[in-house]
Amino acid sequence: MNDSPLRIGTWLSVGSPVIAELAAECGFDWVLLDLEHGCESESALPSQLRALRGFNTQAIVRVGGPNPDLIGRVLDWGACGIMVPHVNTVHDAFQVLKAAQYPPHGRRGYSRTVRAYGYGLRPPGDHPPAPLVIAQIETLEGVEHAQEIAAVAGIDALFVGPADLNFDLKAHHSARTYDECLQRVAKAAADHKKVSGILVRSLDDVPKMKALGFSMLAVGSDLSLMRDGFLKNLEAVRS
């Protein structure tokens, strides 16, 4: 089991700085700002990051892939880290790291005047801090290579994407069950002293995920909370 301390986050897809600020005010350890399936483009991201200033809530941005230009901008704008979907192999993991890290380990462009360094008022010196890098395991292939991915220096966490993983297992008629996949990912992370995380749709699933060793839990999302709240109110009034 992973002995990492429990860190509770939530998924933000609407793109609203007000919602990001409210999540931080409520005390989430981290929030995921979603550029892969979210409702807004990257132009909405800087305002959300500014809304989190002064809080202890970490801002993690999910990009659509290991795009060096986008990852560089996201980190320059002040994100604490990135999450990249569909990391299936060690090669994929290294592509992510190359985009997120400065030379000699990567190819990220360097500027002292970006928001992450106070527009030049807080230059990082010769050794800029490494960003948090989270690899999403969302396919059977990713599960099968979880041990090797977790072993890559610079990959800080393995994060299961439940919807994609379930979809992939069914699409390939896999004999391996979803629960077996969760166990493999959690064990791979623990074996290499990395964090394992997952998005939890139902609070009833939290004890099970904690027992498996998942310590980075995203609980619900802004869209699901609003959708369910709207439906609950409508049903209550109409009935």
Predicted model pTM: 0.95
pLDDT for res 2: 56
Q: How many residues does the chain have?
A: 239
CA-based end-to-end distance of the chain = 46
Count of the separate structural domains present in the chain: 1
| CATH label of the domain that carries residue 127 | 3.20.20.60
**Rg, C-alpha atoms of the chain:** 18
Q: Tell me whether residue 107 is exposed, middle or buried, using C-beta atoms within 10 angstroms of its C-beta: 0 to 12, 13 to 18, 19 or more.
A: middle
How is residue 59 written in tokens? 């801002």
Summary mean pLDDT of the chain? 96
pLDDT for 152: 98
Q: Could you report the per-residue pLDDT of 127-171, keeping only the tens digit for each? A: 898 999 999 999 999 999 999 999 999 999 999 999 999 999 999
37 is catalytic: yes
The pair of structure tokens assigned to 201 is 């749709």
Residue 64: domain span: 7-238
Do the domain assignments include residue 2?
no
Alpha carbon distances (Å) from 166 to 17, 137, 176, 188, 227: 31, 11, 11, 19, 23
Task: Taking residues 10-37, report their average pLDDT.
Answer: 98
Query: Is 49 domain-assigned?
Result: yes
Digit-coded pLDDT (tens) for 182-197: 999 999 999 999 999 9
Cβ 138 vs Cβ 185: under 8 Å: no
- What sign does the CA torsion over 69, 143, 156, 220 have? positive
Distance CA(130)–CA(223), nearest Å, equals 31
For residues 35 and 61, the answer to whether their CB atoms sit within 8 Å is yes
Give the pLDDT band of residue 82 (cuts 50, 70, 90).
very high
Closest CA to 22 of 62, 55, 60, 44: 55
Q: Give the pLDDT mean for 167-185.
A: 96
Q: Is residue 1 part of a domain?
A: no
